[in-house]
Structure 1
Amino acid sequence: MTLKLGPIADDKPVKVSIDVPADIYRDLTAYAEAHAAETGLPSQGPTKLIVPMLAHFMADDREFAKLRRRSSG
């Protein structure tokens, strides 16, 4: 199995607080465990996955990339 989420960089965070539905939290927890098993690193819990998942999602969104190119150029 190869998960889409690669290694998680240790970066200086900005504090953001969100509420997620319980089923999403359970899925994030399961994903965190699968990610830990795949990478061989200890699980850092589901909250560490949110930022890399969002970054991956935005990087793969072609329409968002077009919008960013238009707004920066």
Structure 2
Amino acid sequence: MVKLKLGPLSDEKPIKITLELPASLHRDLALYAEILGRVTGQPAADPVRLIVPMLQRFIATDRGFAKTRNEASAQRGAAADSEAERR
């Protein structure tokens, strides 16, 4: 059995955006959707539906981003605490 990074796709209300992809990337997305459908036992999803979960997975597993996001969040929290103390 193939181990893919994506699991079944959730059925959330989408927000429309316009995006141009290279043809080779679209072909890879279509193939990924086909393989994902076989692995999960679901019909192949529209390749466009893979973009959001792939981006979410990428961001969730990017350690550098997580570290920087946490540092920025801590700095914002410290700034908010400082502001509250001045009041």
Work out whether the TM-score is over 0.5.
yes
2: distance between equivalents of 1:13 and 1:70? Answer: 30
1:45 deviation in Å?
1.5
Give the superposed CA RMSD.
0.8
Partner of 1:16: 17
Partner of 1:47: 48
Q: How many residues matched?
A: 73
- State the one-letter code of the partner of 2:48: T
Equivalent runs, 1:1-73 vs 2, <5 Å: 1-73=2-74
Q: Which has the higher contact order (CA 8 A, sep 6+)?
A: 1
- State the one-letter code of the partner of 1:31: Y
2: distance between equivalents of 1:72 and 1:12? Answer: 28
Q: TM-score, normalised by structure 2?
A: 0.80
Return 5+ residue gaps in structure 1 as ranges.
Answer: none
Deviations 1:18-44 (A, max 9, x none): 000000000000000000000001112
Q: Which has a greater percent of helix?
A: 2
Return 5+ residue gaps in structure 2 as ranges.
Answer: 75-87
1:72 deviation in Å?
1.2
2: distance between equivalents of 1:68 and 1:57? Answer: 14
